Structure 1
Amino acid sequence: MKKTFVTKEQLQQIVEQYPTPFHLYDEKGIRTCARNLQKAFSWNPGFKEYFAVKATPNPFILNILKEEGCGVDCSSLTELMMAKACGFAGDDIMFSSNVTPAEDFQYASELQAIINLDDFTHIDFLNNLVGIPETISCRYNPGGEFAISNTIMDNPGEAKYGLTKQQMMEGFQKLKELGAKHFGIHAFLASNTTTNEYYPTLARILFETAVELKEKTGVHIAFINLSGGVGIPYRPDEEPVDILAVGEGVRKAFEEVLVPAGMGDVAIYTELGRYMLAPNGCLVATAIHEKHIYKEYIGLDACAANLMRPAMYGSYHHITVAGKEDQPCDHKYDVTGGLCENNDKFAIDRMLPKIDKGDLIVIHDTGAHGFSMGYNYNGKLRSAELLLKEDGSAELIRRAETPEDYFATFDFTGLFKDL
């Protein structure tokens, strides 16, 4: 059974001040994940976690991770701006983007971030804008299917990201001629994997590629970024990834491939947004309606505008009815929001305890790619974000949107001046 990191009593106190819906994050859990990751890769002196800002773009969260020694992975101008506001600069920022506007590259250059190029044509594009920095990275796409033990994990050949191996060879040589001195390799081959073998398998592919690149181009490979992809157990019957075993698997590949090639100084980087934040966040909502037609429905004051993943991907998110954890799950519900879209459902045919109007509903594992994927369809307003601090108190870290916020971009019309 999945357990929440917050009790019904704590929630009742919180909702007295901050009405539902809201996303709630667990500071203690975030710090624990960061420390476990650091421990898993402590064998590599240059190791650094670059937290994917896209997963949870909140400066309060970023500051916690900064205190734990993490950098940030940014993919847009505004994410770079947030990173700067939080005090990140230089090689604490990895800028990985695609179809990148000129102004984004220019700002990343101003911050002296590590720029990770997604395409061979971006070499000339960047060079013509700001020149080529001494440290540069390229994103690698090996093509084909990515499999572990005959299980196909994903299909990189269908992904829009990265350079082919031949492009990596030619690109590194060209970047070297343009003044680059230190090179990085980055790749992302599968999403939300819950097998301990994913990172070690990916690492071995990248390590072997790095050795070949060094031998054929003579460049100095300074770091290898394993990116994201390490997932979490969204379902209660799934086992979590053993991050210590993952780190040990990568270390073994490092010792077997890079060290014999004289590349034992290579730093290992990660970008584990989901692993770090997803289990340490939840969406808290209130049951406000029930409907009895061909199926039984429970309507929440939250909707897909607050959590898009179930509607967009059919993703499973566990649901707990606060205070009814020990009651039998003997009622079958579709749990829905109020959007004018039939896919606005957090759960379909989910067995749960009897839900009464007014019950507090906790939707698990929304700490990454939850609030950040929100939107304003139907004029729905994005919720507040709260932080459950280590002392048990709750801190507002983003206020809920208001109608004035929704109409703010019409400020040139004067139509809503009396709101």
Structure 2
Amino acid sequence: MHHFVYRQGELFAEEVPVSRIAEEVGTPVYIYSAATLRRHYRVFDEAFSDLPHLVCYSVKANSNLAVLRLLAREGAGADIVSGGELFRALRAGIPPERIVFSGVGKTEREMEEALSAGILMFNVESLGELEALSRVARRLGRPAPFSIRVNPDVDPRTHPYISTGLKKNKFGLPEEVAYRAYLRAKEDPYLRPVGVDCHIGSQLTELSPFVEALRRLKGLYLRLREEGFEELRYLDLGGGLGIVYGEEEPPPPAAYAEAIKREFRDLDAVLVLEPGRVIAGNAGILVTRVLYVKTNPPSGESSEGRTFVIVDAGMNDLIRPTLYQAYHRISPVRERPGIESIRADVVGPICESGDFLARERRLPPVSPGDLLCVFSAGAYGFVMASNYNSRPRAAEVLVDGERYFVVRKREDYEDLVRLEEIPDEL
């Protein structure tokens, strides 16, 4: 469920017309719904209310400070993958004891920052990282709480770029390697094994991969407890629950929770969950304005010409369609019922043939100046934006009821060169 609805043919974000935001803030613009973010977090969190658990929102999905602050006030922790995300989470008011640090490439500087801040635990992904964490902890004179990310070799049946739980992926350690690493770490006074972790991928639409991964993780957890790991308390299942972009039918959080709880009830552990997309994905849209419409003449391959709807948002604003061949529903901000649709490519201004938001998509006829809405853009949208082609990044807006706030100003040309210098010698 989300709070982007049409009323008398006009798209609203909660109680605010989307066209009003576009006129006053400009396009392209990301718009987030506070009511949707709150609802999605509460539905997910409440599904696990009868288990000891901690919901650590995956900051990489959408790291805007206002979004993080809103979720912090709902009680969310944070799953981070960089020192920058740690900085954002702390700035937004997320308590450090509710932060877990994932990612395969943590630097020692990032480890120092996180350990000094007092985070809940590091999700360690390699033997070399575990050794580095010990060095950092020894320098700081404080033991580092950690879990090891286990690669359970479970196929999540998702896009290969966002699959993370197979042996061929770069993430985590095989179970036996992780087990031996725990045994070695037990002898190190600067390493505190407090949990076991895994995360098998993103945009999962079936429950069986989650259950299979949990069973394997649970086996290792119990084995370690029998070995005397008394501080072992957390079992981190990661995130990955999918959302509806088009025709997908992912399980709702309640069904996901029931499947997990059936496997978890007999464990003396705190369940850690790292949802991102399922919280933020359908809580955001990208609004873009049509610049031009053109039709190329038929080629030898087709008896029809190719129509292009050229808009002011490109792959630098939303890269998912180009990178993952991802589908996003696209509709006019003002509906035009009863008009025969056209088939068109919705493309941006970037000088790449791969710059598109949709291909061969059925749309109502549009004209220059019309506004289009790209739905389900609240996760992995702005966070993956770039300045390619020296394009300033879009503004971000948060709507809360009848009010809206610009929570990230649109960049200007000066922002593009702010950190650059021309040497005097040139």
User: 1:144, 1:387 → 2: CA distance?
Assistant: 37
Shift of residue 147, structure 1, vs aligned partner: 6.9
Counterpart position of 2:357: 346
- Structure 1 residues 111 and 19, CA, compared in 2 at 3 Å: closer, same or farther? same
Partner deviation per Cα, 1:283-337 (whole Å, 9 max, x = no partner): 0001111111040000111101100010111111111112226445621000000
User: 1:202, 1:312 → 2: CA distance?
Assistant: 27
- Structure 1 residues 116 and 2, CA, compared in 2 at 3 Å: closer, same or farther? closer
SS in 1 for 2:186: helix
User: 1:126, 1:60 → 2: CA distance?
Assistant: 31
Shift of residue 280, structure 1, vs aligned partner: 0.5
Counterpart position of 1:291: 294
- Structure 1 residues 82 and 111, CA, compared in 2 at 3 Å: closer, same or farther? same
User: 2:294, 2:2 → 1: CA distance?
Assistant: 27
Partner deviation per Cα, 1:183-231 (whole Å, 9 max, x = no partner): 2111111320122444333322221221123234645421111111111
Counterpart position of 2:4: 4
Counterpart position of 2:90: 84
Counterpart position of 2:33: 26
> Pairwise mapping of residues 86-165 of structure 1 onto structure 2 (< 5 A)?
86-113=92-119, 114-131=121-138, 133=143, 135-143=145-153, 145=155, 156-165=166-175
Counterpart position of 1:275: 278
User: 2:85, 2:335 → 1: CA distance?
Assistant: 39
Partner deviation per Cα, 1:30-73 (whole Å, 9 max, x = no partner): 0001100111111112x111111111111100011001110111
Gapped runs of 5+ residues in structure 1?
A: none
Counterpart position of 1:71: 77
- TM-score normalised by L of structure 1: 0.90
Which stretch of structure 1 is more off in the superposition, 280-289 or 211-220?
Answer: 211-220
Which stretch of structure 1 is more off in the superposition, 75-84 or 28-37?
Answer: 75-84
- Structure 1 residues 34 and 81, CA, compared in 2 at 3 Å: closer, same or farther? same
SS in 1 for 2:167: helix
Matched, 1:210 2:225: no
Structure 2 letter corresponding to 1:275: V
Shift of residue 281, structure 1, vs aligned partner: 0.5
User: 1:138, 1:296 → 2: CA distance?
Assistant: 51
Counterpart position of 1:238: 248
Counterpart position of 2:390: 379
Counterpart position of 1:317: 328
User: 2:89, 2:149 → 1: CA distance?
Assistant: 21
Structure 1 letter corresponding to 2:211: P
SS in 2 for 1:43: coil
User: 1:308, 1:42 → 2: CA distance?
Assistant: 36
User: 1:273, 1:382 → 2: CA distance?
Assistant: 22
Shift of residue 29, structure 1, vs aligned partner: 0.5
Counterpart position of 2:211: 200
SS in 2 for 1:156: coil
Counterpart position of 1:169: 179
Structure 1 letter corresponding to 2:43: N
Instruction: Determine if contact 2:151/2:174 at 8 Å carries over to the other structure.
Output: yes
User: 1:297, 1:182 → 2: CA distance?
Assistant: 56
2:63 to 57, 60, 84: 57
- Structure 1 residues 5 and 399, CA, compared in 2 at 3 Å: closer, same or farther? farther
User: 2:59, 2:422 → 1: CA distance?
Assistant: 31
Instruction: Determine if contact 2:3/2:36 at 8 Å carries over to the other structure.
Output: no
SS in 1 for 2:78: strand
Counterpart position of 2:301: none
User: 2:251, 2:98 → 1: CA distance?
Assistant: 26
Matched, 1:14 2:21: yes
Shift of residue 373, structure 1, vs aligned partner: 0.4
SS in 2 for 1:406: helix
Matched, 1:409 2:419: yes
Structure 2 letter corresponding to 1:112: G
User: 2:345, 2:96 → 1: CA distance?
Assistant: 48
Counterpart position of 1:303: 314
- Structure 1 residues 325 and 319, CA, compared in 2 at 3 Å: closer, same or farther? farther
SS in 2 for 1:287: strand
Which stretch of structure 1 is more off in the superposition, 336-345 or 210-219?
Answer: 210-219
- Structure 1 residues 144 and 225, CA, compared in 2 at 3 Å: closer, same or farther? closer
Counterpart position of 2:405: 395
Instruction: Determine if contact 2:22/2:287 at 8 Å carries over to the other structure.
Output: no
User: 1:208, 1:233 → 2: CA distance?
Assistant: 32
User: 2:192, 2:295 → 1: CA distance?
Assistant: 67
Structure 1 letter corresponding to 2:263: A
Shift of residue 249, structure 1, vs aligned partner: 1.0
Quick one: percent identity of the two aligned structures? 27
- TM-score normalised by L of structure 2: 0.88
- Structure 1 residues 82 and 412, CA, compared in 2 at 3 Å: closer, same or farther? farther
Shift of residue 144, structure 1, vs aligned partner: 6.5
